[in-house]
Amino acid sequence: MPCKILNISTYDHGGAGSVAYEYNQLLQQLGHQSVLLVQECKRKGAVFAIKKSLYHKLKRKLAGLFTKRNSFLYDYHFYNKFEMITPVSARRILKQCPFKPDIILLYWVTDFINARVIHKLCKLTGAKIYWLMMDNAPLTGGCHYPWDCTGYQSTCENCPAIIKVSQKKLAKQVLLFKNKYLPAHMTIVAFSETDYQRALSSALARHRRVARIIGFIDENKFYPADKRQAKEYWGISPDKKVLFFGAANLADKRKGMALLTEAINSLAEDLLVMIAGSFEKNLIQKETKVLGFLHEEKLVKAYQAADLFLCPSLEDSGPMMINQALMCGTPVVAFDTGVARDLVITGETGYRARLFDIKDFAKGLKVVLGLDQQSSNNMSKKCRQRALDLCGRDTFVNHLEKLLAN
């Protein structure tokens, strides 16, 4: 039965914003009346934006001053410093929505709406609320990545992300605030086994429903192709072994870039390293090809050309690039965290290395690169099949419809 669905995200672009945009489109294709409401809009197609008010701009300025005076450790991504300040009202949100929603899907909503607004939206509409975990922000007192901290399982007291002792109470206050206002019947939706287990153990989800679903990848957009032709497209010799990864901020410990470069530099094999995004080429002692930012069509061609996709993330809810690579039939070497735990099977779809173990990660590179042609072809087929089985359109739609119906 068609539903009226309101999707809410801070952005309609970037990683989490793109997920919100694509899911909104999918829901429309399934016959639902679905719109996406964002704070910052760059796309079209049933997307509505709420412009920042003067109050919100003032709040942002004050936030900057506050951040300068109070230090936070970058690795935890403690973005929810002002969770208890409401930048936009529930009534203003509903005024933008062309219908009264039956279902509200929340994505990455930091600095857009807070727990009090979610409570009010639920009260005004009676809608079922689902918060999709783009990261761990739905579970914590402010950080988006808790690492090995388990404070979210109780009170977030003595938060390691906050340096000033006098300010450490902030995380506890935020968690209490969220627990007070988040609807009791709200469902928290995890996209990986790692996040699912964290959600189950969290104080916020202790008396709320937790569900798990693997992120959707359109198999008609991401698909395998002739590898030799794909390499020629990029001006690479068809016989050259190609590693591919998406570059991230080297200062961001959780993305594991420093470990990745060390693992690649330890290899004796003659190969080419293809990089999406920006990257300092001299950090890798191999032939490199920096592709810059890639739109979807060229991103697919990069996956198709690669013999192996590398994901060195150490603390992640995804990343979706693992799902995408496997859908293109490209094996993945990744650390044992995030969605790699669900999709990467050593010897079948790549190699899942022990977390933080550079030598094991490098071993995975050697193992997959050392496969003969027949074994490599078989692994590629298994990659595609696992992606279809766990995150293909039919599988995702089936799980999503059941989730929304309950």
Is the separation of the CB atoms in 211 and 333 below 8 Å? no
Kindly tell me if the per-residue pLDDT of 340 is higher than 80.
Answer: yes
Query: What average pLDDT does the chain have?
Result: 93
Q: Using CB atoms within 10 A of its CB, is residue 220 exposed (0-12), middle (13-18) or buried (19+)? A: exposed
| Domain harbouring 58, CATH code | 3.40.50
pLDDT at 53: 67
Q: Rounded CA gap, 308 and 178, in Å?
A: 42
Residues counted in the chain: 406
Kindly tell me if the per-residue pLDDT of 70 is higher than 70.
Answer: no
37/93 same-domain check = yes
187/268 same-domain check = no
323/265 same-domain check = yes
Residue 180 in domain:
yes
Structure tokens that stand for 347 in this block? 């010897």
Kindly tell me if the per-residue pLDDT of 280 is higher than 70.
Answer: yes
Is the separation of the CB atoms in 136 and 145 below 8 Å? yes
Number of domains composing the chain: 2
295/192 same-domain check = no
Q: Rounded CA gap, 262 and 239, in Å?
A: 25
Residue 400 in domain:
no
Residue 396 in domain:
no
Strand order in the sheet with 4-11: 47-49, 33-40, 4-11, 103-106, 128-132, 187-190, 209-212
Kindly tell me if the per-residue pLDDT of 68 is higher than 60.
Answer: no
Is the separation of the CB atoms in 29 and 222 below 8 Å? no
Residue 39 in domain:
yes
Q: Rounded CA gap, 7 and 132, in Å?
A: 10
DSSP 8-state symbol, 86: -
Strand order in the sheet with 271-276: 287-292, 271-276, 241-246, 308-311, 332-335, 350-353
184/242 same-domain check = no
Kindly tell me if the per-residue pLDDT of 174 is higher than 60.
Answer: yes
Q: Quick check: helix, strand or coil at residue 319?
A: coil
Q: Using CB atoms within 10 A of its CB, is residue 393 exposed (0-12), middle (13-18) or buried (19+)? A: middle
297/159 same-domain check = no
179/248 same-domain check = no
Structural domain of 144: 4-212
Structure tokens that stand for 264 in this block? 């690649």
pLDDT in tens, 286-311: 999 999 999 999 999 999 999 999 99
Closest to 326 (Cα-Cα) out of 247, 389, 396: 389
Cβ atoms < 10 Å from Cβ of 98: 11
Give 403's pLDDT tier (boundaries 50, 70, 90): very high
247/387 same-domain check = yes
Structure tokens that stand for 255 in this block? 């993305």
Query: Of 54 and 361, which is predicted with more confidence?
Result: 361
Give 63's pLDDT tier (boundaries 50, 70, 90): low
Structure tokens that stand for 319 in this block? 């990343």
105/139 same-domain check = yes
Cβ atoms < 10 Å from Cβ of 266: 15
189/87 same-domain check = yes
108/20 same-domain check = yes
**Domain C-terminal end among 146, 177, 212:** 212
Residue 239 in domain:
yes
196/247 same-domain check = no
**Domain C-terminal end among 162, 180, 212:** 212
Kindly tell me if the per-residue pLDDT of 404 is higher than 80.
Answer: yes
Is the separation of the CB atoms in 104 and 23 below 8 Å? no
Residue 402 in domain:
no
pLDDT at 45: 73
Residue 82 in domain:
yes
pLDDT in tens, 128-159: 999 999 999 999 999 999 999 999 999 999 99
Taking CA 10 as the corner, what is the angle to CA 6 and CA 16, rounded to the nearest 5 degrees? 90
- Mean per-residue pLDDT, 9-20: 94
Structure tokens that stand for 32 in this block? 């639902």
pLDDT in tens, 188-247: 999 999 999 999 999 999 899 999 999 999 999 999 999 999 999 999 999 999 999 998
